Structure 1
Amino acid sequence: MAYNPNQYGGYQQSPPPTQQQSYGSPHVGGGAPQNQYNQSASQQQQQGYGNYGAPPPPQQQQGYPPQNYGGPPPPPPKQQGQGPPPGADPQLWSWFAAVDTDHSGQLTVDELQRALVNGDWSPFNIETVRLMIGMFDTDNTGTIDFQEFAGLWKYIEDWKKCFQTFDADGSGSIDRNEMQNALRTFGYNLSDRFVSVLIQKFDKYGHGGGQPGKGDVTFDNFVQACVNVKTLTDSFRSFDTDNDGWIQINYEQFLELVIQQKA
């Protein structure tokens, strides 16, 4: 299996450095340098990929509907046996308690999905929700407690700002040109053909019944697409020991790469 970095730029280009931060339906802010996306191409090439996920986005654009990607705040939580942990954000705790419908102190995939909506009010893709819980489920329970939820929420908020930055027309979705701009900003100079394939894969309205879709991706699938590109690139790099953008692997190594990606 080979990949030519000289043709498409490859992973020798690099996005701004990242931080582990979060995102969701209620909202949490994340501090990010205001000029991160104003760097020149040469400056971007001198940096590494950073951490897992996309780089922290710039400051939120003014005038963008604040209710997008979360909907209105959930109703006040029912009375439970315990209050918020010491030092907890009261608003974030109220959101967590309202989503925790069984009052277990843990959020399941289904509970979290019900709390998250896109800008067009469609529910989050369940696979994106699983991906997010998997990233922040530090004790491997398959659920997230309040502290894990707080980290996930900040991650979602940073992704929301990132999404709004690249949604140039304010449509609430990312088209092919906007996706290509986002990937190039992250350091992935990929071909038009690949970006079209990525859009087709993650266009939630293009699956089933042979429908062509809308040719764009909603917020939840934008996150999933970008994280997949990042993790696949990292998997490729683990085999590219001389960092020349080319690898040669046998059948079992290929299976191992795919299985680890699905884990």
Structure 2
Amino acid sequence: MGGRAGCDVSGAAGSVAGVMAAYPGQGFPGAGQAPGAPSAGPYSGAPYGHPPPGGPYGQPGGGPYGGNAPPGVDPEAFSWFQAVDADRSGYISVKELKQALVNSNWSTFNDETCLLMINMFDKTRSGRIDLYGFSALLNFIRQWKNLFQQYDRDQSGSISFSELQQAFSQMGYNLSPQFSQLLLARYAQRSSNPSIQLDRFIQICMQLQSTTDAFREKDTGLVGNVRLSYEDFLTMVVTRMM
């Protein structure tokens, strides 16, 4: 590699990628259909609060799209879009999305997860999404909510350490308890019994899958380890953060 120092990425990075012939995480929302789950316990409502009563712009038919959902847009998503679009711009920003999304404990979604999701559905790279992007985003969140509920086995509204370990295993990731504990220390809410809320679960899984994809591109033999230069490693990480 042009004389640059190399590094063998097989231990920690290999386990993060999930050392398997077929890489894990391919059934994540956005890449396929997440399994469904019944509405019960802390999941009986939507994962994003409730729209205000009455017309979202004060009068029926207000806002940039008028009073009716355009063709191909779910009426519920249309109503939500109008309620969330506080500045009536016809677009949803990260700030507006953050104000609309809540976890089961009524804490708002964190900035990082909102930005990741906006970027995923922002086709123009403008930092905001239109009605169609927002409609796709709500469907995406519903799928993540269903997946989250499946792994929240005690229906507490959050993912514990043991549940996180089981979730990784069922997703196909071969990750150590030490790595799961590291994630819990980094992303869990501070308490005597640390656990992961929906927003952090989405963030962890999206970043894990993104890193896995980057590792898999280098692991052409699907053996679970690759040799990278230091700069190649930094490039792989930085490009997945953008």
TM-score range, shorter chain: 0.7 to 0.9
Normalising by structure 2, what TM-score?
A: 0.84
Q: By how many angstroms is 1:161 displaced?
A: 0.3
Judging changes above 3 Å, is the alpha-carbon distance between structure 1 residues 68 and 253 closer, same or farther for their aligned structure 2 residues? same
The reply to whether residue 2 of structure 1 matches residue 9 of structure 2 is yes
* Residues 1:56 and 2:33 aligned together: yes
Which residue number in structure 1 is paired with residue 158 of structure 2?
A: 173
The answer to whether structure 1 residue 127 and structure 2 residue 99 are counterparts is no
Task: Trace 1:112-191 onto structure 2 (pairs within 5 A).
Answer: 112-191=97-176
Give 1:73's aligned amino acid: P
Q: Which residue of 2 aligns with 1:31?
A: none
SS of structure 1 residue aligned to 2:216: helix
* Residue identity matched to 2:121: F
Secondary structure at the residue paired with 2:228? coil
- Over 3 Å counting, the alpha-carbon distance change for 1:188 and 1:66 in structure 2 is same
Pairwise CA distance, 1:144: 0.2
So what's the TM-score if we normalise by structure 1?
0.78
The offset of 1:67, in angstroms, is 2.1
Q: CA RMSD in A?
A: 2.3
Which residue number in structure 1 is paired with residue 4 of structure 2?
A: none
1:236 aligns with 2:215: yes
Aligned to 1:216: 195
Amino acid paired to 1:93: F
Q: What runs of 5+ residues in structure 1 fail to find an aligned partner? A: 22-50, 207-211
**Within 5 A, what are the aligned runs for 1:14-33?**
14-15=23-24, 17-18=26-27, 21=30
CA contact (8 A) 1:113 1:126 kept: yes
1:11 Cα deviation after fit: 3.7
* Partner residue, 1:29: none
Say whether the 8 Å CA contact 1:57–1:165 is kept in structure 2: no
Q: Is the 8 A contact 2:101 2:109 kept in 1?
A: yes
8 Å CA contact retained: 2:51, 2:83? no
> Residues 220 and 108 from structure 1, CA distance in 2 versus in 1: closer, same or farther, beyond 3 angstroms?
same
4+ runs of 1 displaced by more than 4 Å?
13-17
- Alignment of 1:106 onto 2:91: yes
Q: Is the 8 A contact 1:80 1:103 kept in 2?
A: yes
Matches of residues 252-263 of structure 1 in structure 2 within 5 Å? 252-263=231-242
Alignment-derived partner of residue 3 in structure 2: none
Q: Quick one: structure 1 residues 140 and 128, their matched pair in 2 at CA, closer, same or farther if it must change by over 3 Å?
A: same
Q: What is the deviation of 1:174? A: 0.4
**Contact kept? 1:69, 1:121, Cα under 8 Å:** no
Aligned length: 224
Question: In 2, Cα distance between the equivalents of 1:101 and 1:67?
Answer: 22
Of 48, 58, 79, which residue of structure 2 is paired with 1:70?
48
Tell me by how many angstroms 1:9 deviates. Answer: 5.8
Distance change >3 Å, CA 243–CA 99, structure 1 → 2: same
